[in-house]
Amino acid sequence: MNIDSMVLSDDNLKKLKDLKNPKVLKVVEEFVGRMKPAKVSVITDSQEDIQYVRDLAIKNGEERKLAMEGHSIHYDGYNDQARDKANTKVLVSPGMKMSKRINTVPREEGLPEVFEIMENIMEGKEALIRFFCLGPVNSRFSICAMQITDSAYVAHSEDILYRTGYEQFKNLNGSEDFFYLVHSAGELEGRGTSKNIDKRRVYMDLAEGRVLTLNNQYAGNSLGLKKLALRLAIYKANNEDWLTEHMFIMGAKPEAKNRITYFAGAFPSACGKTSTAMIPGQSIIGDDIAYIRNKEGRAQAVNIEQGIFGIITDVNAEDDPFIWEVLNSPRELIFSNILINKGKPYWLNMGIDTPDNGWNHYSDDWKAGMKDEKGNEIALAHKNSRYTVRISELKNADPRLDDPEGVPLEGIIYGGRDSDTSVPVYQSLDWSHGVFIGATIESETTAATLGKEGVRAFSPMANMDFLVVPLGKYFSNHIRFGKGLSHCPKVFATNYFIKEDGKFLNSKVDKKVWLMWMEGRVHGEYEAIETPIGYIPKYKDIKDLFAQIFNKDFTEIDYEKQFSIRLTKWLEKMDRMEEIYRGEDDIPDEFFTILDNQRARLKDAQLKFGKQVVAPAEFI
């Protein structure tokens, strides 16, 4: 290597050379040469190296220690506290097909732009070179990933969120099959936050399996192994024979039955994803990203992460007891963008009284009523405030969290949000119909967010923001994957938001009943009613589950209101989906066959029953 020895010491150079990977050396030489840090530290899996990163985050002022042992606080810039969708782009080469809904830039245009911004961007700073494993170590599921960053906070976050991978890189035996991710926070302002946000760039280079991200610190923009590497893995999976999905993985454990049944689930934002993954009495493997592979005819899944980068707003002792306990006890934990008063953390809607002054996401001297430059009142914490913690710290962590073989998926759940169409839970007719259900997820906006209730956002597989392949290819791969299994997971859909006269027809906790019905269906314990949309529960089974779980009477009137098939509304949805997908290229014929068949079943029911809403009993 031709890097100045003052920048990379003999000890650090030896750490790189011990990997015996020419591509690693080439990448380090190229990007250290471009960004010109004053010092480069190579971090192995050793506790000494990892502790160095933790200490550096405090020394640099990127994190501050809190009163409770192991807790620290990080603040992102006021304009850097969410994913920057406008500047997050996929670099596309000539002839590369991409969904029309993906933000792209020609590779020959984007690379020179980002390389120009990158020149000397680490001047006077220390670069950290990290090695991680996406998925359990020593697993055929997993992908190695290297990140170069000048942010010790980013590197510390990754220690919590991902498994160490320096030794895994040795096992590559020189292979170039790994992702790499280059990040710089850029020039910093007085609070230690990124200054040149007009030059913020988050570019995915699929051709090289890399992410180049600059002038940011928010984890969604800077942690390359998070949603950024999700895009790289989606591209890789859809050009091979497996799935990368924006899904939780959880274990369902029915009371009085000695078994655990594993589900994966994809839900758009505000549709109940986290609350489903954390239903009391169940176990969690992951809350965000899953790799799913075929193992001897069965779908096996792993969580690529070992931690949670969770939204902390609304977390409280009553609704989130396991998370609450973790957030209020000594352990390694990073808060971001919340209020700190006398070394204690406070966030929005936490269920206790909060101070009216302290450090927060806007100022080191925040006071209640303070306003920003536009005259808007500054809340005590940002609504997208986060906590970063290892899943193993949770009492409901599943014992197979780090199983290199993954867990057998028996069910897949697609969640949506609509007030007037779908039932609380139903099952697909088969795997391909399940893919169709996932492809047609809609999430209804609320008055609180956009000022208008009922605007439906299209969100296939809850993955639209991260797709880097055409929708047609994505769905074809899903259909093909299922057909290659001898034992397919059953596919379900949920909707916790059905309303009548503006009021929800079920409560937040009812989702446990729907989960237990799905779990029982997997094991053939419940019969179901076949309807035009799929299989729905029988009244007696749901009534019994409500009695067993909540000692609550679920009336036949409740059942009919929630599980009636709203034929007209479903037909309107089929029309919306056809309009969307006719505008996309290469959607598989099977997709439109399923759509046409479902529309025909709905119309036949209209003719047969002579009404627009049909009660479940009429389909028996």
- The enclosing H or E element of 115 equals helix 107-118
- Within 10 angstroms of residue 569's Cβ, the number of other Cβ atoms is 15
Q: How far apart are CA 50 and CA 64, in angstroms?
A: 17
* Dist CA 431 CA 487 (whole Å): 10
Rg of the chain over all Cα atoms, to the nearest angstrom: 25
Return d(Cα 28, Cα 9) in angstroms, integer.
14
Contact indicator for 222, 216 with CB cutoff of 8 Å: yes
Active-site pick, 133, 144, 271, 488: 271
What's the CA gap between 382 and 347, in Å, rounded? 8
How many other C-beta atoms lie within 10 A of the C-beta of residue 264? 26
- 144 catalytic per annotation: no
- For 526, the 3-state DSSP assignment is coil
Q: SS in 3 state form for 313-339?
A: CCCCCCCCHHHHHHHCCCCCEEEECCE
Q: List the one residue out of 205, 181, 200 whose CA is nearest residue 91.
A: 205
Residues 339 and 366: beta-carbon distance below 8 Å = yes
SS3 call for 276: helix
**Exposed / middle / buried, residue 252 (Cβ in 10 Å: 0-12, 13-18, 19+):** buried
3-class SS of residue 566: strand
Catalytic residues: 271
